[in-house]
A and B are shown apart, each in its own frame.
Chain A
């Protein structure tokens, strides 16, 4: 593939993706807000809470896009040596990830309808989950075949 990034991007992605994800997750769980309040001290003024909200949203935005960028870097970076086996493994992993995503979408969709139709946020979470399943499965499978199974 000609649009693959140089190998160094894979290392950058491997760092920023998990860091971005954990910061985003911490923000979702409210830890970031608590840390910000702890750092600057509690205050009930309206301006203060607005500043905390802006800071939290900014951190959420940066961390989420760092995660996305990291996933992109890890997925679309060249290996140290790009050859036919690596290209074949990449293609196989893409195909398998697409299949897993499709099955999970069908099973998830049907089970959600049968058990209990979720609200709007439930659907949104479901579709975001299935989109990420593709990328996470691809990254996991590709790197497992190339770097772990090879040693067995």
Chain B
């Protein structure tokens, strides 16, 4: 799964810590999601989308291999 979290976060001028605090997760979780090591739950994906004011499909995209 491809994710555009880092791009969207930087567009909003948010640091990883700020985004983590806004969605009440640890900074490690944001790092893991951005690096593609961790796929977030639906709930966390929706929270991220809400905070970044984007649709979930913009933040996370399915790839051919998925």
Contact = CB atoms under 8 A, between A and B. Distances in A.
A84 B32 contact: no
Q: By DSSP majority rule, is chain A's interface helix, strand, loop, or mixed?
A: helix
Contact of B31 (A83, A84, A86, A150): A150
Contacts, number: 34
Interface stretch (B3-11, B36-44, B48-56, B57-65): B36-44
Contacts of B24: 81, 83
Interface string B21-45: 0001110110111000010110110
Contacts of A147: 28
Interface of A: 79-81, 83-86, 88, 146-147, 150
Interface of B: 20, 24-26, 28-29, 31-33, 38, 40-41, 43-44
23 contacts: A81-B20, A81-B25, A81-B26, A83-B24, A83-B44, A84-B25, A84-B29, A84-B40, A84-B44, A85-B25, A85-B26, A85-B29, A85-B32, A85-B33, A85-B38, A85-B40, A86-B29, A88-B38, A146-B28, A147-B28, A150-B28, A150-B31, A150-B32
